[in-house]
Chains A and B, each alone.
Chain A
């Protein structure tokens, strides 16, 4: 959505976005904090729930649309981004959120991320990155560190992890941020900024898995290690610096906006609308559409 469309903030409160569906997540799962941050961010933006479409794939975190009062779509593994783009292009007035896990976004659905970035449909993509497959009981994920022992890697992983931040920056995204539910208030601010950014926006959330995750990936550990980019004096318009910080993924936990393109490129839907307006005068009435096949 465009930054000017925001409604009065007082109109909606975080609780207005919370559904009565009870989450199936394990007690103390990081995703509880993420959904709280999303409620808060949505209240900050102030759009009514029926104007929001919230799309996810498959995984623990992909249950999240059902826990909101928005129109939700809990789709199939890895395909949330294409579905969300279809929704936004079909109705650009909607606020469209996409969420899922690291497996959904960077393994089975990894091929869609680059194209969502370059197509630049105005979406907010929130990845709950826990470096593990929780729903299927603890296998390696694309962000698992090399050497990690899991149910599918009894002797340790033989692969390097994906770096989500660096990937998305490399693809040319205009808005890239990171957060952790260990700082729920900070996460809510980042998500709200992402939603307000006019174009594709990516938020990587380090969301610990309490059941299969590593001990160093806990909310407590996050609290101790996280560093706010704001506090570090990071200039979010500096893309190269953002990439340097992003390369420390896995060793450092930076929170806040890594990169924000100060001159947002045009979105697909805005360009599409322009093209529709430009070509409308060329349309034949639909009932006479076949006349274009009359040879001369």
Chain B
């Protein structure tokens, strides 16, 4: 029996491997498991290679894990294209279509002898039972239901439901294909049983949702009434969702003619008094940059989501990366501080999106949500979120006495000035990208410019004291430190757990707030730290560099960074920590001796 299982499957576009993953995800959720599903595709619009990774566990899962326990290859060419995304190791059970003609002891896997290789006539079984190879995924689901001991009823119910539209014959033939897979599995038990422990203890049915949908739903919850955006991978699902849902809540959506118009319309809607959002990916962020600067100087709240993908330029649109952090923080001309937040999981995307709206409204500023393809397009089982625990912030409107001789950009103690909007008598003012005085009149005065810069930056200072925008885990006084953000936070948390299980004392800091850099929080975290890692999916290790701009980071804190599309797994984090401990032991640093 196992309590935590990693499954990876790959095939051609038409093989339905991704919808099989979806079906397993639904089944896992219905049976109370925690699960996370990622999908990965080749660059083709239709067809081409496609794959998914599913991790099912009786405990909460924080990452998609490392080496696969079970790998399913419908053909080897497609499987091998995914490289490190579907890593096979010495403990992996490999299931593959025997039609590939590959002998079990001659698998085309470089330098790996898997635990077990099982050729199954998947294509033939599909043809025999359903009359078409299109039912291969139903055979695979049957095989997995048998071997994993999970989802027998719910997968079958799912097949019935999914094919109901296509008529009873299609549904029945897929049911037969499923049954034949199940039969095969029961007749051919695995050398190492992979059956999952029952999840009944973990209880209630969970939500199944991906990061983009979660972000869009959270925006509606936060009161977003206007969305404008331009299609771009991998963020378009936010627009799809809002294009369907926002009207129901009295809002409006525009598919803009370009990225600039998208953020421009959002700036306009915010000026008119509405909570508004746009979403994009790296190339779109580059285009939106000037207009985001306008929102900063005009002090207009808005939320801009960047679902990061591989860059620069077109880069790798379908793969995750965390290399847009410099851009999020620094891609403005002039002295600009613009809050940047990052969610660490699908579940976390809800709270972070609501927080982004709250910060935008509170401080009258654009806020960037730096999501990434991994979180945005992966499905997670999510426990019930208690929405009543969230407070929604609204921008500060002028009182009637403040409307007497109204000053839109009045320099206040907090730096936040009451904001009126068209339709309010007496609140008339000129918003502008040109520097302006407190009344909003254009100016070239150096003195006014200095005061306005100071005000616009000072108003964000309280953010740096928001300790709730950071999570600290592990041994508080450990000399070994980990920092990770976005989708890599889950990897680092599991890496930390592995290291601690080996007796290594370490701690982890996960920032939700990436910018402005909360100097005090990092300073405290680094007290007594001698070595550590900042774990990031980028070549440069951008957070590591940004923290060092503002904080004295101990020299032993290094960067563990790889370009996007090269997964970093928890075991790699733990191994690097282990190595650091050994290096210190050689230097006779007694505090690094493993406990026990």
Contacts and interface: CB of A to CB of B under 8 A. Distances in A.
Contacts of A272: 247, 252
Interface in A29-80: 48-53, 55, 58, 63, 65-66, 69-76, 79
Given A90-B274, A276-B247, A83 B428 contact: no
Given A75-B264, A83-B264, A87-B268, 17 more contacts: A50-B425, A66-B430, A71-B271, A73-B432, A76-B293, A81-B264, A82-B268, A83-B267, A83-B268, A83-B271, A88-B272, A89-B268, A90-B273, A276-B252, A280-B248, A286-B221, A294-B207
A81 B205 CA distance: 48
Contacts of A66: 430, 432, 441-442
Interface in A277-294: 278-280, 282-283, 286-294
Interface of B: 26, 29-30, 205, 207-209, 213-214, 217, 220-221, 225-226, 228, 247-252, 254, 256-258, 260-262, 264-274, 276, 290-291, 293-294, 298, 350, 382, 385, 387-388, 421-434, 441-442
B225 A65 contact: no
For chain A, give the interface size range: 35 or more
Nearest to B268: A86
Given A53-B271, A76-B291, A70 B261 contact: no
Contacts of A276: 247-248, 250-252
A65 B441 CA distance: 11
A72 to B, nearest CB: 4
Interface centre among A66, A72, A88, A293 (most CB of B within 10 A): A293
Contacts of B423: 50-51, 91, 93-94
Nearest to A112: B261
A83 B265 contact: yes
Interface centre among B260, B382, B424 (most CB of A within 10 A): B260
Contacts of A283: 248-249
Contacts of B387: 286-290
Nearest to B388: A287
Contacts of B225: 90
B267 A86 contact: yes
B250 A86 contact: no
B466 to A, nearest CB: 24
B420 to A, nearest CB: 8
Given A66-B430, A112-B261, A293-B209, A50 B422 contact: yes
A279 B258 CA distance: 27
Contact of B273 (A73, A91, A282): A91
Interface centre among A76, A85, A114, A278 (most CB of B within 10 A): A76
Interface centre among A79, A286, A295 (most CB of B within 10 A): A295
Interface string A176-213: 00000000000000000000000000000000000000
A37 to B, nearest CB: 20
Contacts of A88: 268, 272
A74 to B, nearest CB: 4
B434 to A, nearest CB: 6
Contacts of A168: none
A289 B217 contact: yes
Interface of A: 21, 48-53, 55, 58, 63, 65-66, 69-76, 79, 81-91, 93-94, 111-112, 114-115, 119, 268-269, 272, 275-276, 278-280, 282-283, 286-295
Contact of A71 (B221, B251, B422, B441): B422
B207 to A, nearest CB: 4
Contact of A75 (B220, B248, B429, B433): B433
B247 A72 contact: no
Nearest to A79: B264
Contacts of A111: 257-258, 261
Contacts of B251: 276
B269 A290 contact: no
A69 B267 contact: no
B219 to A, nearest CB: 10
Contact of A70 (B260, B421, B424, B428): B428
12 contacts: A63-B442, A76-B290, A76-B293, A82-B264, A86-B269, A86-B270, A89-B268, A115-B256, A280-B248, A283-B248, A286-B221, A293-B213
A71 B226 CA distance: 20
Given A50-B422, A84-B268, A73 B29 contact: no
Contacts of B431: 71-75
Nearest to A55: B268
Contact of A293 (B207, B247, B427): B207
B422 A290 contact: no
A91 B254 CA distance: 14
B440 to A, nearest CB: 8
A279 B430 contact: no
Nearest to B158: A295
Given A74-B432, A290-B387, A280 B272 contact: no
Nearest to A275: B247
Contacts of A48: 425
B252 to A, nearest CB: 5
Contacts of B220: 286, 289
Given A49-B428, A286-B220, A89 B252 contact: yes
Contacts of A69: 428
A21 B257 CA distance: 35
Contact of A86 (B226, B290, B424): B226
Nearest to B30: A295
A104 to B, nearest CB: 13
B249 to A, nearest CB: 6
Given A71-B422, A89-B226, A65 B430 contact: yes
Contacts of B214: 293
Contacts of B350: 290
A91 B247 contact: no
Contacts of B258: 111
Interface centre among B207, B294, B388, B432 (most CB of A within 10 A): B432
A89 B265 contact: yes
Contact of B428 (A71, A86, A291): A71
B422 A51 contact: yes
Nearest to B248: A283
A7 to B, nearest CB: 14
Contacts of A112: 257, 261
A66 B291 CA distance: 20
A217 to B, nearest CB: 27
A150 B260 CA distance: 30
Nearest to A80: B264
A94 B428 CA distance: 13
Given A86-B226, A289-B217, A72 B382 contact: no
Contacts of B290: 76
A83 B318 CA distance: 31
B268 A85 contact: yes
A277 B388 CA distance: 27
Nearest to B210: A293
A282 B274 CA distance: 22
Contacts of B427: 50, 71
A282 B248 contact: yes
Interface centre among A63, A111, A272, A280 (most CB of B within 10 A): A272
Nearest to A66: B430
B261 A115 contact: yes
Given A86-B265, A282-B248, A52 B422 contact: yes
